[in-house]
Amino acid sequence: MLRTGTLVLALLAALAAGCAGNPSSSSQDYGTAPSYRSYYEEGRITGIDTVRGPGASSSVAGAVVGGIVGGVLGHQVGSGRGNDAATVVGAVGGAVIGNEIGKGHSGSGPDSYRVTVRLDGGETRSYDQASIGNLRVGDSVRIEDGRLVRF
């Protein structure tokens, strides 16, 4: 037991001597702080286009599926010419209902905007934005981390 206590005291003393013996290790001079400047480019907006949300095609798919289902159900009604008419009415009605369901389905997302910018260096780039806010064609903008900022 005495040897363990002596060993611990020796380690603590060595640690204290190491810290006290080299005062510059804890107060190292790193010089002046580096200045971090964010990278940006400047240009002028040449175009703003609306981009349809990802759900734009779901209403078409809904119309097709609805038309098929409606046609099959309509074919079950009547016989002869009445059967043909019921099939057509069922297909058209199913397509209309399927289209409306497809429009309101959770897969439909909001429209976004594709903003085209001609950079001061002559290069043209496009940026997709959820909202254009107060941006207009002809505005001078700064591109900071992929975001357009009017100035």
Considering the domain architecture, whether residues 60 and 104 belong to the same structural domain is answered as yes
Q: Tell me, yes or no, if the pTM score tops 0.95.
A: no
Which pLDDT score is estimated for 123?
A: 93
Considering the domain architecture, whether residues 48 and 60 belong to the same structural domain is answered as no
Which pLDDT score is estimated for 28?
A: 41
Which pLDDT score is estimated for 10?
A: 55
Considering the domain architecture, whether residues 63 and 103 belong to the same structural domain is answered as yes
Q: Which domain holds residue 115?
A: 40-54+109-151
Give the residue ranges of the chain where pLDDT is below 50: 2, 19-31, 33, 106
Which residues face 50 on adjacent strands? 113
CA distances 145 to 5, 41, 91, Å, are: 58, 10, 50
Which pLDDT score is estimated for 26?
A: 40
Considering the domain architecture, whether residues 61 and 128 belong to the same structural domain is answered as no
- Total domains in the chain come to 2
Which pLDDT score is estimated for 58?
A: 58
Which pLDDT score is estimated for 105?
A: 56
- The CATH number linked to 123 is 2.40.50
